[in-house]
A = this chain, B = another copy of it.
């Protein structure tokens, strides 16, 4: 199990020198350093994080905590973060709330975490001031993705603007009976994503003098199944809206599926716009308000990395831009049945695969 002493012996130096040489610390002659590195490579020596962590208090790992450790959104964010962290040798540990939660503590078991990670990314978890205090008491860099909490650096999108953007698009197409799907009191532990998007929706409706119709609003989780249920609910309540704003692409997909299965054409009979630009959304030709998911993970990771290196990134809130992507599930109300034979070259954004890996080629966002 070749340890540091083996390397030291083989290189004819002390363990202290090996330690310094391998970690790139100053105070080692270039010659010695090279020699040590050679021996280390030859022996396949790698320092044990456990052993290295004892004296330093650092673990070489960062945690990513989310309500559940499942699903496209959380996975994609974690992927973005993971890629940035492992590029510099950090391990990342994912925790679903159920894993970290104990009977006594409501949210994150800071005692457990402090001993395991050097820094923490908190996803979609709105914490109470007390919980924030406990988190900060860990004395480790923490960054949140999603909810803005006083004292905690955050990466987010403007959810109200998301709602405006989607609704504005529908309004501009001429829609006035616009449905809204999303928002479940038990979902996301109270994190106001859906409410914010709904507010944007209502604002834009207000601007064009439309009174939001409660019959056109249905709740639901961020799942395709909710879209199916929402469609059924719309139908139950009376005439369908001419367009629907779903707070996530998965909901939108379920909605479209249910509508088409029921003989309702999308977008001719009903337009649908979602949010996220899910990896598979282009397959549905789904019009959506795209948010850079993996990139948010990466931004958070880089900010944390900077702070781990002593960078004094304050508590800024970084808002990354979202962008409406018009594809093929939205059209003016009562639009004539398209022949679905768009002329070559006029294909537009609706049909081909996306130009690259999703949200990976977007313009960089500055991290203050």
**Does the CB pair B228–A253 fall under 8 Å?**
no
Q: Does A136 interact with chain B (Cβ within 8 Å)?
A: no
- CB pair B49–A228 under 8 Å, yes or no, is no
Residues of A30-67 at the interface with B, using a CB-CB cut-off of 8 Å, are 41, 44-51, 53-54, 59, 61
- Nearest to A89 among chain B residues (CB) is B99
A296 to chain B, nearest CB (A): 16
Docked-complex contact A86 and B59, CB < 8 angstroms: no
Residues on the B chain within 8 Å of A111, using CB = 2, 44-46
Q: A45: which B residues are within 8 A, CB to CB? A: 111
Contact of A91 among B2, B116, B283, B353 (CB under 8 A): B116
A352 at interface, CB cutoff 8 A: yes
Contact with B along A230-259 (1 / 0, CB 8 A): 000000000000000000001001101100
Choose from B54, B79, B341 the contact partner of A263 (Cβ within 8 Å).
B341
A351: chain B residues at CB < 8 Å are 257, 261
Point out the residue from B54, B283, B350 that lies within 8 Å of A253, measured CB to CB. B283
State whether A254 and B228 are in contact (beta carbons under 8 Å apart), knowing that A86-B96, A263-B341, A340-B263 are contacts in the complex: no
Residues from chain B with a CB closer than 8 A to the CB of A47 are 115
Within 8 A of B (CB), among A83-136: 83, 86-87, 91-96, 99, 104, 109, 111-112, 114-116
What residues of B have a CB within 8 angstroms of the CB of A86 in the complex? 69, 95-96, 99
A224 within 8 A of B: yes
| A116→B91 CA distance, assembly (Å) | 9
Bound complex: CA A53 to CA B83 (Å): 26
Determine how close the nearest CB of chain B comes to the CB of A222; give it in whole angstroms: 13
Q: Are B79 and A41 in contact, with the CB atoms below 8 A?
A: no
Q: Please indicate the chain B residues that have their CB under 8 angstroms from the CB of A284 in the complex.
A: 283
| B-side contacts of A225, CB under 8 Å | 353
Partner of A280, one of B41, B87, B253, B341: B253
User: Which residue from chain B places its CB closest to the CB of A115 in the assembled complex?
Assistant: B48
Minimum CB–CB distance for A131 against chain B, Å: 14
Residues of B within 8 A of A69 (CB): 79, 82-83, 86
Residue of B nearest to A96 (CB): B86
Contact of A261 among B83, B92, B340 (CB under 8 A): B340
Is A1 located at the chain interface by the 8 A CB criterion?
yes
Are A257 and B228 touching (Cβ within 8 A)? no
The answer to the question of A20 belonging to the interface, with a C-beta cut-off of 8 Å to chain B, is: no
Task: Tell me if A75 counts as interface (CB < 8 A to partner B).
Answer: yes
The 5 lowest CB-CB distance pairs between A and B, nearest first, are A50-B53, A44-B111, A86-B99, A48-B115, A225-B353
